[in-house]
Every structure is written in C-alpha cells, then in structure tokens.
C-alpha cells in the first residue's frame, strides 16, 4: 500500500514559462506563411500544448491523438496503436506533433510515419522533456523544452497513476511503499 510520495523539484514554473515562450517564438518564425496544424498527444501534452499555442503568433489549427503502446510492466515493446485519430485534413499542411516526454522514441516514430501518410507538407516534433539516453529508435525532435537524463517525472501534464498532472513545475517522483520500496522505472 502506498504511503508517501516524495517530490523533488527539477524545473520551476518560471523556467517552463520562459522556455515555452522561446519555443513559441521559434515556431512562429519557422512557420510564417505556412498552414500549420498542431497535434497534441493525449493526455500528457495537453498543458504544455495549451501554453505553447498561446505563444505562437500565427493562424493555426489544433487537433489531438491518443496512442496506446503495449509492453510488459513499464517498458514499451514498440507496438503502438492509435485510439483517437486526427479529425482535421492534413493534406499539404505542416504538422507539428506536441508531446510531453520523449524517451524510447517508439511512439513518435510510429505517429510521424502515420501522419506522413496524410500527404502532409512536413511533420516535425516538439516536446517538453527529452530523455535522449533512453532512445531506442532514431527520431529527430526539432523543438525541445528541456533535456533531463534520469528520474521519473511528474507535473505540468506528466503523471503517475493519473496524479500530479496539475503541478505547475516538473518534479522527480519517488513513491514510497510499505512493501519492498518500489520505485517506478523511467519512462
């Protein structure tokens, strides 16, 4: 039975706000005079994406996808399925995928390939957290908020068992259990 979760600050709300504004400005510069569709991956990216789109000074369209990956325990097998697909037409449009955290890369590689089948002009990726040392497939992330190497992260959309998404900063989470000190593996 879970008793106490310990949270250690990693990124402050102020640093997140500053970085999101910087990324929004860079996206605004890159996509001038282009049809841009921002696609967020549910659920984790919704807070990051909401703040990000308000910092992009362009006409944009917004949509969401939801994906499910299969594996044993907390490790992904690389098998991914779409449980909520895009609803907008993507033909000849520039697509920017917004994700909360990138680690193995399986999910984003799959999604980028699927979205490219819609005859898009381009498909690029923006993430809040990049854990490059956990990468198992080659995937380019064009816009990165922060690179963090280790730890299970919560806050600003990131969750553990559907908890902690509402926190304004990013925190390392160390759950404590009465039975044999379980600590979740990294994403």
103 is catalytic: yes
Task: State the Cα–Cα distance between residues 137 and 101, nearest whole angstrom.
Answer: 15
Go through 172-185 and write b for each residue having 16 or more CB atoms within 10 A of its CB, e for each that does not: bbebeeeeeeeeee
Order of strands, edge to edge, in the sheet holding 153-154?
A: 2-11, 170-177, 153-154
Pairing of strands 36-42, 60-70: parallel
Q: Residues 51, 57, 100, 103: which is the catalytic one?
A: 103
- Kindly state the helix (H) or strand (E) to which residue 170 belongs, with its residue range: strand 170-177
Tell me the catalytic residues. 103
């Amino acid at each position: 039975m879970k008793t106490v979760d310990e949270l250690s600050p990693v990124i402050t709300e102020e640093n997140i706000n500053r970085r999101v504004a910087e990324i929004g400005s860079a996206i605004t510069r890159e996509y001038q005079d282009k049809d841009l569709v921002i696609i967020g991956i549910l659920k984790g990216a919704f807070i990051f994406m909401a703040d990000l789109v308000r910092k992009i000074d362009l006409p944009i369209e917004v949509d969401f996808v939801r994906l499910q990956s299969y594996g044993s325990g907390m490790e992904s097998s690389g098998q991914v399925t779409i449980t909520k697909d895009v609803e907008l037409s993507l033909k000849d449009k520039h697509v920017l995928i917004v994700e909360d955290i990138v680690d193995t890369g399986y999910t984003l590689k799959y999604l980028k390939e699927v979205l490219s089948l819609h005859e898009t002009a381009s498909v690029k990726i923006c993430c809040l957290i990049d854990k490059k040392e956990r990468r198992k497939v080659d995937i380019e992330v064009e816009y990165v908020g922060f690179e963090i190497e280790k730890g299970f992260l919560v806050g600003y959309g990131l969750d553990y068992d559907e908890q902690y998404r509402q926190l304004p900063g990013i925190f390392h989470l160390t759950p404590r259990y009465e039975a044999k000190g379980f600590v979740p593996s990294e994403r």
